[in-house]
Chains A and B, each alone.
Chain A
Amino acid sequence: MRHLAWHLHTFRWRALAASVGVFVLAGWYSATRLSSVTEATAWDAWLLSLQGPRPGNLVLLDVTQWWLLYVLFLYLTGDIPNADLLARGEGLLPRLGSRRHWWVGKLAALGILVMAYTAAVLIAILGGAGARLPMTSVIHPEIFGLTRTVEPLSLVVAVFLLVASTLLSLAVLQWFLSILWRNAFQGFLAVMGLMTVSLFLGMSRLVPARWLPGTQSILTWHTLYDAQADFSITWSLLYNTTLLAVLLAVSFKSIVRLDIFSHRAHHT
């Protein structure tokens, strides 16, 4: 795809790289929380950083650590489609040939970015934790109350897929809403609001957590932590894939007929 280079250049790579630096601190901080546990490893601290808040137990620190990964990414990428369409549209779209080509390229670039960002965050957390704890490739299930023992490598794959698929589906939702409303900040607020509602509904168990968008990346709500939860990692991956497929279908249908103008421009 010839125009992928353009789409990749629209991202704020430096700001995203700096935001990854925050997760070095998060890993290091999780390691300090485990410093009283004799046999704790950097992998334990890594899981502590990524597991998310416990159900029914709203600890601000856990919520913030889980939340930060999504807020930073969504904030730093939220205005990109609107900048392409509303500020650069007349120079960009005719060269691409169609709105559909533009959206395909934008989504492909987003997919690449999500995978790079997720991998960088997971490595940064482990690096930060490794500064205080030994890097021994062991996760202690008793620290977290896991229902079974887990190999770090298989957990890395599961966490990577959960975080990346949640991030991708939320980012596509944010972009689509921003485009429809011609306002990137409204799209960002809508997705943040959705995540907040999901978090509190899931916490209070008013709605089965597995049906709430955004909570698929909260490991502590899954069967791995609670055998009664009926919330497996496979379910979450299927949920995110389905959400993404629905968003793609709806967004393609809307974007091919989209009028490209800003509200400000239509008053001039």
Chain B
Amino acid sequence: MFVIQLDAVSKKIHDRLILEDVSLDVPAGAIYGIRGPNGAGKSMLLRIVCGLVIPTNGTVRVFGQVIGKDREFPDHTGALIDAPGFLPHHSGRRNLELLAMIRRQIGPDEVRAAIRRVGLDPDDRRPVRQYSTGMRQRLGLAQAIMEHPKLLVLDEPTRGIDVQGVKDVHALLKALKDEGVTILLTSHDEVETRLLCDEVFLLEGGRLISETVRASDAD
């Protein structure tokens, strides 16, 4: 069963083709990675999967539902795209509690657990504006995982995190995979994608190329 199915997805913005004819099937329980240079359209692709950007052509299915038709945003999905933003005058925990109040699927204990799981202190009362880039990134991850999603869409999840923190995030993603969570992530780091991902794709010139295919072509 495929969790994400992209069928010939294209996106044009102001006459600039950002994505061209992108097709991708991500099976349940797998970690799929997308690499590519700056401006390749990685974040845009993740935004399309999350329903935040509407494709110019093509179809996006998540858990079998057509995004933009059956659902505006996919169900059971946590996302972290670009630099995560929060209410700067509230603490990290208060930010997540306010977000959790919208769906009311989880309570304060689960919010605290998610914060602890990404290596932050849920009792830290400092406002988010005093957080470092790495702490904000971790809080963004906590936001993405706190409601126990079945699909995680992560844009450079280790951006701004220190070396030990990167190891922690890798361990977290592997643990989530073991729990059955499907993960689609982007990364600049070839080593990171090879370490974490079951399949890696390269986004180049708006087109998605399987790295496995590229490697076999090179052979």
- Residues on A lying within 8 angstroms of B by beta carbon are 2-3, 5-6, 9-10, 12, 14, 83, 86-99, 257, 259-262, 265-268
Q: A268 touching B39 by the CB < 8 A rule?
A: yes
State A11–B47 Cα separation when bound (angstroms).
Answer: 26
State A97–B13 Cα separation when bound (angstroms).
Answer: 25
Flag the segment in B72-80, B115-123, B192-200 that touches A: B72-80
Q: B50 touching A259 by the CB < 8 A rule?
A: no
State A260–B79 Cα separation when bound (angstroms).
Answer: 14
Q: B47 touching A91 by the CB < 8 A rule?
A: no
9 more CB-based (< 8 A) A-B contacts, given A87-B85, A90-B47: A6-B101, A6-B102, A88-B86, A90-B79, A91-B80, A91-B85, A94-B50, A95-B99, A257-B54
State A89–B18 Cα separation when bound (angstroms).
Answer: 20
State A260–B72 Cα separation when bound (angstroms).
Answer: 13
Q: A90 touching B101 by the CB < 8 A rule?
A: no
Q: Quick one: closest A residue to B96, CB to CB?
A: A91
Q: Quick one: closest A residue to B147, CB to CB?
A: A95
Q: Quick one: closest B residue to A2, CB to CB?
A: B102
Which residues on the A side are within 8 Å of B90 (C-beta)? 9
State A9–B101 Cα separation when bound (angstroms).
Answer: 12
Q: Quick one: closest B residue to A13, CB to CB?
A: B89
Task: Give B105 Cβ to nearest chain A Cβ, in Å.
Answer: 9
Q: B52 touching A90 by the CB < 8 A rule?
A: yes
**Contact code string B50-87 (vs A, CB < 8 Å = 1, else 0):** 11111000000000000000001110010111111111
Which residues on the B side are within 8 Å of A91 (C-beta)? 79-80, 84-85, 99, 140, 143-144
Q: B102 touching A3 by the CB < 8 A rule?
A: yes
What interface size band does chain B fall in?
A: 35 or more
B44 within 8 A of A: yes
Q: Quick one: closest A residue to B40, CB to CB?
A: A268
Q: A94 touching B73 by the CB < 8 A rule?
A: yes
State A83–B102 Cα separation when bound (angstroms).
Answer: 18
Task: Give B13 Cβ to nearest chain A Cβ, in Å.
Answer: 6
Which residues on the A side are within 8 Å of B18 (C-beta)? 266
Q: Quick one: closest A residue to B41, CB to CB?
A: A266
Q: A259 touching B101 by the CB < 8 A rule?
A: no
| The residue from B13, B43, B103 contacting A95, defined by CB atoms under 8 A apart | B103
| The residue from A9, A260, A267 contacting B52, defined by CB atoms under 8 A apart | A260
Which residues on the A side are within 8 Å of B73 (C-beta)? 93-94, 97-98
State A93–B143 Cα separation when bound (angstroms).
Answer: 13
Q: B143 touching A94 by the CB < 8 A rule?
A: no
Listed A/B pairs (26) with beta-carbon separation below 8 Å? A2-B104, A3-B101, A9-B98, A10-B87, A12-B89, A14-B89, A87-B83, A87-B84, A88-B84, A88-B86, A89-B81, A90-B79, A91-B99, A91-B140, A92-B99, A93-B73, A94-B50, A94-B77, A98-B72, A259-B52, A261-B47, A265-B43, A265-B44, A266-B13, A266-B18, A268-B42
State A134–B87 Cα separation when bound (angstroms).
Answer: 43
Q: B87 touching A95 by the CB < 8 A rule?
A: no
Task: Give B36 Cβ to nearest chain A Cβ, in Å.
Answer: 10
B216 within 8 A of A: no
State A241–B86 Cα separation when bound (angstroms).
Answer: 34
Q: B47 touching A260 by the CB < 8 A rule?
A: yes
- Once A9-B98, A95-B103 are accepted as A-B contacts, the answer to whether A90 and B80 lie under 8 Å apart by CB is yes
Q: B43 touching A268 by the CB < 8 A rule?
A: yes
Which residues on the A side are within 8 Å of B101 (C-beta)? 2-3, 5-6
Task: Give A268 Cβ to nearest chain B Cβ, in Å.
Answer: 5
State A87–B143 Cα separation when bound (angstroms).
Answer: 13
Q: A94 touching B54 by the CB < 8 A rule?
A: no
7 A-B pairs closest in CB distance: A87-B85, A94-B73, A90-B79, A260-B52, A95-B102, A88-B85, A259-B53
State A6–B87 Cα separation when bound (angstroms).
Answer: 10
State A261–B52 Cα separation when bound (angstroms).
Answer: 8
State A203–B208 Cα separation when bound (angstroms).
Answer: 60
Which residues on the B side are within 8 Å of A259 (C-beta)? 13, 47, 52-54
Task: Give A261 Cβ to nearest chain B Cβ, in Å.
Answer: 6
